[in-house]
């Protein structure tokens, strides 16, 4: 004889499994939407660095916002932010700020995330960790020409002093939930 709670327990377990599958699909979708932005941004910065670090600052300053805008279409918004900003235009959206704060305080929490947003939308975040090329403009010891260029373009800069592997910030994506 079946216990009277068995159907309810089975329904709960099926719903939990379905929610996990949906979260995995949203994580994959967010990563998929972000990938072209990251590739183009990296290529632009690599190209800038090939012309010298001062040129890389210019590429980052001018082209990075254009790249984000180009990939923010069809109901998708893409960007990057940091807890130590260089460009104040990159301030974290309201929904990203608590995740970024957790990335800062909990190294073990630095994994991609999805969060439900208003109007049947989803937010996706992914941490940005400092890689060797980043140290040229964000490291502890900057070349004098690089430091001068950053001071001129970003007088309130707080995006220096990083070490390899440090948290540099977060990428974020907002997208409509698939129907």
User: What is the model's pLDDT at position 21?
Assistant: 80
More confident residue, 12 or 35: 35
Residue 110 lies in a domain: yes
The per-residue pLDDT for range 80-120, each reduced to its tens digit, is 999 999 999 999 999 999 999 999 999 999 999 999 999 99
Selection from 4-8, 13-17, 28-32, 58-62 with the highest mean pLDDT: 28-32
Count of CB atoms situated within 10 Å of the CB of 125: 26
Residue 93 lies in a domain: yes
Domain around 75: 6-176
Structure-token pair, residue 159: 């995006």
Buried b (16+ CB within 10 A) or exposed e, 60-91: bbebbeebbeebeeeebbbbbbbbbbbbeebe
**Domain total of the chain:** 1
Q: How far apart are CA 147 and CA 102, in angstroms?
A: 29
Residue 1 lies in a domain: no
User: What is the model's pLDDT at position 10?
Assistant: 44
Residue 124 lies in a domain: yes
pLDDT band, very low/low/confident/very high, at 127 (cuts 50, 70, 90): very high
């Amino acid at each position: 004889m079946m216990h009277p709670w068995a159907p309810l327990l089975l329904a709960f377990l099926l719903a939990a499994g379905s929610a996990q599958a949906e979260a995995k699909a949203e994580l994959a979708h967010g990563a998929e939407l972000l990938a072209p932005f990251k590739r183009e941004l990296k290529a632009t910065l690599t190209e800038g660095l090939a012309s010298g670090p001062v040129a890389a600052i210019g590429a980052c300053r001018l082209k990075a916002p254009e790249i984000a805008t180009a990939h923010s279409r069809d109901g998708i918004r893409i960007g990057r932010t940091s807890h130590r900003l260089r460009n104040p235009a990159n301030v974290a959206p309201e929904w990203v700020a608590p995740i970024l704060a957790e990335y800062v305080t909990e190294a073990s929490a630095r994994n991609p995330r999805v969060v439900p947003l208003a109007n049947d939308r989803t937010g996706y975040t992914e941490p940005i960790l400092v890689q060797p090329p980043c140290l040229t403009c964000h490291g502890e010891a900057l070349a004098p020409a690089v430091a001068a260029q950053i001071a001129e373009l970003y007088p309130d800069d707080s995006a220096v002093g990083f070490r390899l592997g440090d948290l540099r910030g977060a990428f974020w994506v907002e997208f409509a939930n698939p129907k």
